[in-house]
């Protein structure tokens, strides 16, 4: 092996190791927040959770705020990937309420602790301006999937996100989180109100199935 190639491989190895360590720190941060709250985020606590030297936190992040921003952005990237997968799975607009209900149910049941951590970070942006651009990234990502990427009426989109936030918050404080079946009815009403009300005899049939 030539010296140049050996140096390149060593550099790549260090880069990969560095990326893994940085990811381990971010994942550890979210676990600590979910378990103990944002107040527990410190260099020592995160290093212990991640299994890395405390100096690693300062090496990869310029302070606690920088670490929190990186953790929130990492959650945004994971959310975008989940939404991409969801869009691939849903083939018709009528399937969206059920699909979203299943995602929400999974968030508050199978991944409850992670969701709590992400929401605590999201709400922390109200007090920590440095986190606000990252927090708004959640809304930007979600908006990109409304109406198959075409967007929608801004007041209607804001109302939809307000309902989703409310459903998640209520589910997180419930003794027994709601199931997808329970969430689907609310989402059907919010996402496709005309169809929902027509099915219940409130609206007469309208040719073409127009939505409000």
Sorted by where each starts, the structural domains of the chain and their CATH numbers stand as 1-61 (1.10.10.60), 65-212 (1.10.357.10)
d(C-alpha 30, C-alpha 75), whole Å:
9
Look at phi and psi of residue 201 and say left if phi exceeds 0, alpha if psi is from -120 to 50, else beta: left
Q: Which residue has the tokens 């109406």?
A: 147
Residue 66 has pLDDT above 90, yes or no: yes
User: What is the mean predicted confidence (pLDDT) over 154-179?
Assistant: 91
Question: What's phi and psi for 62, nearest 5 deg?
Answer: -85, 65
The per-residue pLDDT for range 116-163, each reduced to its tens digit, is 999 999 899 999 998 999 888 888 887 777 765 556 678 888 888 899
For residue 43, the model assigns a pLDDT of 95
Token code pair at residue 112: 């409850």
Residue 12 has pLDDT above 80, yes or no: no
For residue 200, the model assigns a pLDDT of 77
The pLDDT-based confidence of 212 (bands split at 50, 70, 90) is very low
For residue 1, the model assigns a pLDDT of 64
Count of all residues that appear for the chain in the document: 212
Across the chain, what does the average pLDDT equal?
A: 85
Q: Which residue has the tokens 């100096």?
A: 55
Token code pair at residue 85: 């997968």
For residue 199, the model assigns a pLDDT of 81
Task: Please provide the DSSP assignment of 50-78 as one string.
Answer: HTS-THHHHHH-SSHHHHHHHHHHHHHHH
Residue 188 has pLDDT above 80, yes or no: yes
């Amino acid at each position: 092996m030539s010296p140049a190639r050996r140096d390149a491989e060593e550099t790549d190895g260090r880069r990969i190791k560095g990326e893994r360590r940085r990811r381990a720190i971010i994942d550890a941060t979210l676990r600590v927040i979910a378990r103990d709250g944002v107040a527990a985020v410190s260099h020592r606590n995160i290093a212990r959770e991640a299994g890395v030297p405390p100096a690693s936190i300062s090496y990869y992040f310029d302070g606690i705020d920088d670490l929190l921003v990186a953790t929130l952005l990492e959650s945004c990237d994971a959310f975008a990937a989940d939404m991409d997968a969801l869009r691939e799975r849903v083939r018709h607009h009528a399937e969206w309420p059920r699909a979203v209900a299943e995602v929400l149910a999974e968030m508050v049941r199978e991944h409850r602790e992670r969701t709590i951590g992400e929401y605590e970070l999201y709400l922390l942006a109200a007090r920590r301006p440095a986190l606000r651009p990252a927090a708004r990234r959640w809304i930007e990502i979600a908006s990109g999937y409304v109406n198959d990427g075409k967007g929608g009426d801004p007041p209607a989109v804001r109302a939809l996100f307000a309902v989703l936030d409310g459903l998640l918050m209520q589910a997180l404080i419930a003794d027994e989180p709601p199931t997808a079946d329970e969430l689907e009815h609310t989402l059907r009403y919010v996402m496709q109100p005309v169809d929902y009300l027509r099915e219940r005899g409130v609206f007469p049939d309208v040719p073409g199935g127009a939505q409000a």
